[in-house]
Amino acid sequence: MIYSNHNLIRVNAFSLYVWTQRYDLHSHSTNSDGEHSVESVAKLMRANDVEYWSLTDHDTISGWESAEKYAKSVGINFIPGVEITCERGLPPDADELDRQSRERASKSWHLLAYFPTLKHFDEPALRFAQWLTPLQDNRIPRMKEMIDKLADLGMPIDYEVVAEKAEGSIGRPHLAQAMVEYGYVESKLEAFERWIGDGLPAHVAQPKPSIAEAVEMVSKCGGVTSLAHPLYYGVPSTRLAEFCKEIGVDAIEAFHRSHSDEYRYELWQACRNIGLQISCGSDFHGQSYAQLPGRMPTPIDDLCV
Ligand SMILES: [Zn+2]
Ligand SMILES: [Zn+2]
C-alpha cells in the first residue's frame, strides 16, 4: 500500500484502485436530527480532512444555503444532498438478518440524493423542496402521537421539552434525549431499542414515497441517488444490487460507517458486478454519539458524485 497525501493506492494482480478519504457524503445538522449547526458540521468536516462534503438532512434541503456558505468559508466543496425516508423496497431475509446479527430490519429505507450541479435557489431545487414538504409537515403530528403513546405506556413527556431540542425539524433523536432526561431510559440507544424504534410500542410511522417515486423525482430534478446504509435492511447484497439496478438507483452506500470492512467490500463488488456506483458516508449526527465525520477510505473511480 502506498500512501500519498490523502489518497491510498492499492495495487493487486488485477486492478489498480485509487482510494480517497477526502469524501463524506452523509451527514446531519440541526436542520434535521443532527446535534450540531451547519457551521459546526462544516468545521468538523474540515478538521477531519474532508474536501467533498454533503449535508444530507432528513427530508429537507433547508441547510443547503448555509452549508454552501460555510463550506466556502472553511475551504471545502459542498455537494447538495438529502436523505429521503422511503417505503421499504424489499422484505428482509431471515438468513441475512442472522448473518448480520440483527434482530429486525428497519421499516423504512433511506435514499440519499445528490445534486452536484444545483444551487439552493435554482428552479429544480425549489420544485424538489416542494415535493419534500408533505414529508416534513407530518413530523410534528407524528411526534405528538409518539408522545401520546409513551404517556399511555406510563412515560409522560411534555411536547415542549422535545420541541426545544429541535432547532430544525423535530425527530426521534430529540424524543430519545427527552426520555433520557426524564429518567425513563439510560441512553438514547435504549430509547430506540425498547420504545421508539421502527415497529416498537411507541413508534408511529410517517407517510413515505416508494423508492421508485423518490428516484423518479430526484432524476427529474437533475440528481443522482444512492441507497443508504443497507446493513439495516436485511437483504443479501446481490439481491439488493439487482433491485437498485432495476429501479434506477445509481449507487449503494457500500462505505457506510456502520459497515464492517468485509461488508463494504462485498457490497462494492456486488455493485461493480452489476454496473452500479457506490457512495461513502459517516452518517454523522453528532459528537455525543461518539461519532466523527470523514476518514472513510473509498475507491474514487466508483463514487457516484
Ligand atoms: Zn438513514
Ligand atoms: Zn443519515
163 and 79 in one domain?
Answer: no
| Residue 206 located in a structural domain | no
100 and 190 in one domain?
Answer: no
Count of domains forming the chain? 2
Confidence class for position 303, pLDDT limits 50, 70, 90: very high
| Residue 268 located in a structural domain | yes
* pTM of the complete model: 0.82
* Cα of 27 from ligand 2 centre, angstroms: 6
* Cα of 111 from ligand 2 centre, angstroms: 9
pLDDT of 11: 56
Ligand number nearest CA of 33 is: 2
For the chain, give the percent of residues with pLDDT over 90: 78
pLDDT of 6: 53
**What is the chain's mean pLDDT, rounded?**
92
* Cα of 135 from ligand 1 centre, angstroms: 15
Ligand number nearest CA of 32 is: 2
227 and 89 in one domain?
Answer: yes
pLDDT tens profile 106-144: 889 999 999 998 888 889 998 999 899 888 777 788 899
* Cα of 229 from ligand 1 centre, angstroms: 7
Ligand number nearest CA of 229 is: 1
257 and 281 in one domain?
Answer: yes
295 and 182 in one domain?
Answer: no
* Cα of 32 from ligand 2 centre, angstroms: 10
Domain end (from 150, 177, 196): 196
189 and 40 in one domain?
Answer: no
* Cα of 226 from ligand 2 centre, angstroms: 12
174 and 92 in one domain?
Answer: no
* Cα of 175 from ligand 1 centre, angstroms: 17
52 compared with 208, residue with greater pLDDT:
52
Q: Are the beta carbons of 29 and 36 closer than 8 angstroms?
A: yes
Ligand number nearest CA of 228 is: 1
249 compared with 121, residue with greater pLDDT:
249
* Cα of 57 from ligand 2 centre, angstroms: 7
Say which CATH number the domain at 22 has. 3.20.20.140
Ligand number nearest CA of 109 is: 1
| Residue 211 located in a structural domain | no
105 and 83 in one domain?
Answer: yes
127 and 254 in one domain?
Answer: yes
Structural domain including 153 reads: 140-196
| Residue 2 located in a structural domain | no
* Cα of 195 from ligand 1 centre, angstroms: 18
* Cα of 15 from ligand 2 centre, angstroms: 32
* Cα of 12 from ligand 1 centre, angstroms: 33
Domain end (from 196, 213, 242): 196
pLDDT of 287: 86
* Cα of 190 from ligand 2 centre, angstroms: 19
Confidence class for position 1, pLDDT limits 50, 70, 90: very low
259 and 189 in one domain?
Answer: no
229 and 149 in one domain?
Answer: no
| Residue 209 located in a structural domain | no
65 and 179 in one domain?
Answer: no
The answer to whether residue 282 scores a pLDDT higher than 80 is yes
pLDDT of 3: 47
pLDDT of 13: 53
| Residue 216 located in a structural domain | no
| Residue 72 located in a structural domain | yes
Q: Are the beta carbons of 22 and 6 closer than 8 angstroms?
A: yes
* Cα of 200 from ligand 1 centre, angstroms: 18
* Cα of 83 from ligand 2 centre, angstroms: 6
| Residue 204 located in a structural domain | no
Ligand number nearest CA of 85 is: 1
Q: What mean pLDDT do residues 173-194 have?
A: 94
The answer to whether residue 247 scores a pLDDT higher than 50 is yes
pLDDT tens profile 19-61: 999 999 999 999 988 999 999 999 999 999 999 999 999 999 9
pLDDT of 198: 83
Confidence class for position 165, pLDDT limits 50, 70, 90: confident
pLDDT of 2: 45
